[in-house]
Amino acid sequence: MEIGVFILQQMRDRSVPPTRVVGDAIAQAVLAEQLGFDTVWFAEHHFANLGMCPSPLLMASHAAARTSRIRLGTGVVVLPFYNPMRLVDEIAYVDILSGGRLDLGVGSGSHRHEFSGLGIPIEEARARFGEALDVIDMAQDQDRIDYQGRHVEVRDAHVPLRPVQQPVPIFLAGLAKDPAMIERVVRRHYTPFVSAMWMPPAAVAAVRAPFDAARRAAGRDPSREPFAIQRLLYVTDDRADAEDAARRAIYTHRLVAALKAGHGRFEDGYVAEEATEHDPTVEEVLSKAMIGPPDRLVAMLQQDVAEVGPSHLSLFMNFGGMDHARVARSMERFATEVRPQLGQWAGRKPMAAE
């Protein structure tokens, strides 16, 4: 199983400039390689302090020059925001710059203020996503594109810029209940990518189930097919430190929930911190999330292995505007005290007959 680090670049403290947020993200990407993580994932967000990276491909291209081994993931490129043909070129270019290390995570987007700021109706998100993905798939297979959609039109365009990887791996985030997307995952050999945060393993397994059913129907062994999950994780032995991490997790949860619902209140680009009746308590987060000492986290990860069987694990380790030193310490402890206890973790649940 590949284990990666997810970097959101959240800006919570108004006294912290964006330059420090970005600098810390770069430092964490470099540290992830030094510590032996397999992948570093970069988010995309616009016009709010939830995440300061507007282009995960741009961040991946910079990280490519600062690293040599670690894979570089987009978590995710929001396809409706792009001209698909330009995106095809940029995907190939970043894969070339990185020596074939790009993992392309894609999604349709869900934050209304981002669509509004970019002048794109959010009601068109699903259709634009599908058409952009059509073009990306065509570019994976051939060097000429001729495509007619409702939002995308390409007339016999030649694509001479080819990526190192044939094909570039595609990770699909969201749309887990869309039968057409599930069929596409199976047909195109995408990797489903689920934000599990602190969901119980059984709930994550339920999200995986339709993909497994479709793969089984196609004559493939689901236990050997890829499935990626993202978990919030923070290593600490200190109760006060853990409680602070839980409060930061709740802060991030509030922002995401408000922005997805379209009712986030903005104050100079910052989403107002407003408690709601749906917020989990600190105790609830500490009981469910992967926050705590190494042995507890090992046990929780082993439960994911048994019930979910992920092939890829993305760890969200810097949340709620956490100080870089704390994030680095947690990353180091995961690498030295948690991962070694997992042994040769295959990350897939064996079939009953095996």
Scored b (16 or more CB within 10 A) or e, 289-319 reads bbbbebeebbebbeebbebbbbbbbbbbbbb
Q: Is the pLDDT of residue 347 over 60?
A: no
> Rounded to two decimals, what is the model's pTM?
0.95
Q: Is the pLDDT of residue 352 over 70?
A: no
273-306: per-residue pLDDT in tens?
899 888 999 999 999 999 999 999 999 999 999 9
Q: Is the pLDDT of residue 353 over 60?
A: no
Report the percent of the chain where pLDDT is more than 70.
97
237-282: per-residue pLDDT in tens?
999 999 999 999 999 999 999 999 998 999 988 999 899 888 999 9
For residue 101, give Cα distances in angstroms to 96, 195, 226: 8, 22, 18
Q: Is the pLDDT of residue 351 over 60?
A: no
Closest CA to 59 of 108, 33, 97: 97
Give CA–CA dist 270/321, Å, rounded: 12
> What is residue 350's predicted lDDT score, i.e. its pLDDT?
35
> What is residue 346's predicted lDDT score, i.e. its pLDDT?
33
DSSP per residue over 125-194, as a string?
Answer: HHHHHHHHHHHHHHHHH-SEEEEE-SS-EEEEEE-----SSSSPPEEEES-TT-HHHHHHHHHHT-EEEE
> What is residue 348's predicted lDDT score, i.e. its pLDDT?
34
> What is residue 39's predicted lDDT score, i.e. its pLDDT?
97
> What is residue 344's predicted lDDT score, i.e. its pLDDT?
61
> What is residue 345's predicted lDDT score, i.e. its pLDDT?
59
What confidence tier does 48 reach under pLDDT thresholds 50, 70, 90? very high
> What is residue 276's predicted lDDT score, i.e. its pLDDT?
87
192-240: per-residue pLDDT in tens?
999 999 999 999 999 999 999 999 999 999 999 999 999 999 999 999 9
Q: Is the pLDDT of residue 349 over 50?
A: no
Question: Averaged over 120-137, what is the pLDDT?
Answer: 98
73 forms beta bridges with 41, 103
> What is residue 268's predicted lDDT score, i.e. its pLDDT?
87
54-97: per-residue pLDDT in tens?
999 999 999 999 999 999 999 999 999 999 999 999 999 999 99
Q: How many CA atoms lie within 13 A of 9 on its CB side?
A: 29
What confidence tier does 102 reach under pLDDT thresholds 50, 70, 90? very high
Question: Averaged over 26-39, what is the pLDDT?
Answer: 97
**For residue 282, which amino acid is it?**
V
Q: Is the pLDDT of residue 36 over 60?
A: yes
Q: Whose structure tokens read 């979910």?
A: 308
Give CA–CA dist 8/266, Å, rounded: 19
Three-state DSSP at 341 gives helix
For the segment(s) 2-342, the CATH number from 3.40.630.10, 3.90.1150.10, 3.90.740.10, 3.20.20.30 is 3.20.20.30
List the chain domain ranges: 2-342
Q: How many CA atoms lie within 13 A of 330 on its CB side?
A: 28
> What is residue 312's predicted lDDT score, i.e. its pLDDT?
97
318-340: per-residue pLDDT in tens?
999 999 999 999 999 999 999 99
Question: Averaged over 137-163, what is the pLDDT?
Answer: 97
